[in-house]
Each structure stands twice: as structure tokens, then as C-alpha cells.
Amino acid sequence: MRLLFTALSCLISVNLFSQILDYDGNNDGCINSTDILNILSFYGECESIYECGTIVEYDGYEYTTVQIGNQCWFAENLRTTRFKNGDEIPFFNDCVIGGWPWELIFTPLNVIYGGSEYLGQECSTCYDYSPNINACEADESLVEYGRLYNWFSVNDIRGLCPSGWHVSTTEEWNELNDFILSEGNQVEVVLKSNTGWENNENGTDAYGFDARPAGDINYLGTFNHAGTKAQWWTTNYVGLQGIKRTLITNQIGVPSSLSDQRAGLSIRCVQD
């Protein structure tokens, strides 16, 4: 039997080699090195299969990933300063951009929690409930929470997440919720990080999602809820409001709610 398989393999190889030798890729009636190069051009065009759990490098930062059910998520909040095509996402760090304050800007923005200042002076109200860091210090909150983005950044056709990934949808959050419940777990407990929540209201981080209470900047430009609330934009919206998912102490699951699109919230990427 092995001899038969070997003979068939050899026959297939000979036939394939014969086809290559007879291949006139540019149909010029002449078979030469140009045709061989034509064949070689087809190699290397397929994308390698990404294995969830390995690092994703994007905009100079290495993101950890985690498999939960049939989904592969970033295991931390996004912190990119650029869209997928390399264009810069405007950074709000001087209280006004182009003469306009936060509440009057209806175009893409990113900001670091507590990081709005002018000439070295803080110009946004900032509330800090974190037991681990001074969340109103931008250098500390960037490391702990990543960046916050308004919904106009989410809705931009240039894309916030790297190739092969996208900003999570409310349907994907529902799938995540249903999977965790199907395993008999409390969603709000197992998704929370095991440190960083006010009054020791930490979770178990059983799936490695590491949901940290990154807070938000509201549409008026006030930083709030660092240490008490995690909020993520989805790509969904209703009228002039975006849909977010919120994880907060003493609340069941990660429910949906509407938010002013000018608010700055966290982002989680999901694999396509």
C-alpha cells in the first residue's frame, strides 16, 4: 500500500512539474524565465493564521489578547494615537483644539484621563477614585487605562483597530455576556480586573479580560469615574447618541446604554 501511495505521489509531482514546464504565463508563445517569475508571484499572498493569545503589535505598542468562547478580544484597552491608515487622531491636551473646547468638537479626538491642561495648569475638573494610582496624573492613567476616544473616532472610516480587528459591537458584547452566563459565571465579577476598583470591589478576572475602571470624560470635558466604572464604546448608535457598554460595581452584567457622542470612553478591539 505504501508503494502505491509513493507511486501516486511521484506521478502527481511529475504531472505538476510538467505543467510548470509548459506554463506560458503571459501567452507570448515563449516559455522562459519571465513565466517562472510569473508563477513565483503567486506565492506569499495568503495571510498567516493568527492564533489568539499571542501579541498584537500596533502603533508601537504590544497588546495581549484573550480567547473567550468563539471570540478573540484585546485583553486591554486601546491606546493608539493613529488610525489604521496612519493618520493621526487629534489629541486633546490643551483645553482647546483650533480654538474650540471639548464640548464643541464633533470630530475625532483622543485624550488621556486627567490629561487636559493649558500652560501647565489643569483646566478640566478631574475626579479620582482609584485605590492604586493618581488617575488625574496622565502619565499614570495612560499606563493603567489606555486612552479615551469620542464616538466620532469610532465612527471614522479610517478605523481605530489594526488590520484584522475592529471596534466591538453591541452584538459581540451580547455574545460575550451569553457565553459567560452559559458557563455559570457572573459576568460583572469574572470580567473585572482583580485590582484597581474602589473599596476593594475587584473581580476575579477569570477569563483574562482585565476590565479596569478607566472612567470617562463627559461631553462637557469633565473627567470622572476612574476607579469606579469601566465604559466601552460600541460601533452602534441610535440617532445622535452612541451605544456604550458599562461595567460598574453593584450592577449585573455589562448593560447597554446611550451616551452623548462627544463623551470619551475606552475601546476594546475584537478579531474580525
- pLDDT tens-digit series, residues 58-69: 999 999 999 999
Based on the domain organization, do 109 and 188 belong to the same domain?
yes
Q: Which of 5-9, 158-162, 254-258 has the lowest mean pLDDT?
A: 5-9
Residue 99 contacts residue 87 (beta carbons within 8 Å): no
The C-alpha angle 264, 66, 129, rounded to 5 degrees, equals 40
What SS3 state is found at 3? helix
Inside any domain, residue 87: yes
Based on the domain organization, do 115 and 179 belong to the same domain?
yes
End-to-end CA distance of the chain: 44
Based on the domain organization, do 21 and 91 belong to the same domain?
no
How many Å is the Cα radius of gyration of the chain? 25
Residue 7: per-residue pLDDT? 41
Based on the domain organization, do 172 and 266 belong to the same domain?
yes
Neighbour count for residue 87 (Cβ, 10 Å):
11
Residue 109: per-residue pLDDT? 95
Based on the domain organization, do 17 and 88 belong to the same domain?
no
Tally of domains in the chain: 2
pLDDT band at 44 (very low <50, low <70, confident <90, very high): low
Residue 253: per-residue pLDDT? 93
Inside any domain, residue 177: yes
What SS3 state is found at 218? coil
242 burial (CB, 10 Å; 0-12 / 13-18 / 19+) is buried
- With cell 481605530, the residue in question is 160
Inside any domain, residue 147: yes
Residue 8: per-residue pLDDT? 37
Q: Which of 131, 134, 246 is nearest to 191 (CA)?
A: 246
Based on the domain organization, do 81 and 12 belong to the same domain?
no
Based on the domain organization, do 32 and 154 belong to the same domain?
no
* Domain, as residue range, for 121: 56-271
Residue 99: per-residue pLDDT? 62
Residue 130: per-residue pLDDT? 97
pLDDT band at 42 (very low <50, low <70, confident <90, very high): low
Q: Which of 36-45, 65-74, 143-152, 206-215 has the lowest mean pLDDT?
A: 36-45
Query: Could you tell me the three cell numbers for 103?
Result: 464640548
Inside any domain, residue 49: no
Strands (E), the chain: 56-58, 61-63, 65-68, 71-74, 110-111, 117-118, 121-122, 126-128, 148-149, 165-167, 214-217, 223-226, 229-238, 241-248, 256-260, 269-271
Inside any domain, residue 205: yes
Give yes or no for residue 254 having a pLDDT over 80.
Answer: yes
Inside any domain, residue 48: no
Q: pTM of the full predicted structure? A: 0.81
The C-alpha angle 148, 223, 97, rounded to 5 degrees, equals 65
Based on the domain organization, do 110 and 32 belong to the same domain?
no
Residue 93: per-residue pLDDT? 78
Based on the domain organization, do 33 and 100 belong to the same domain?
no
Encoded amino acid at 3, one letter: L
Give yes or no for residue 205 having a pLDDT over 60.
Answer: yes
pLDDT band at 224 (very low <50, low <70, confident <90, very high): very high
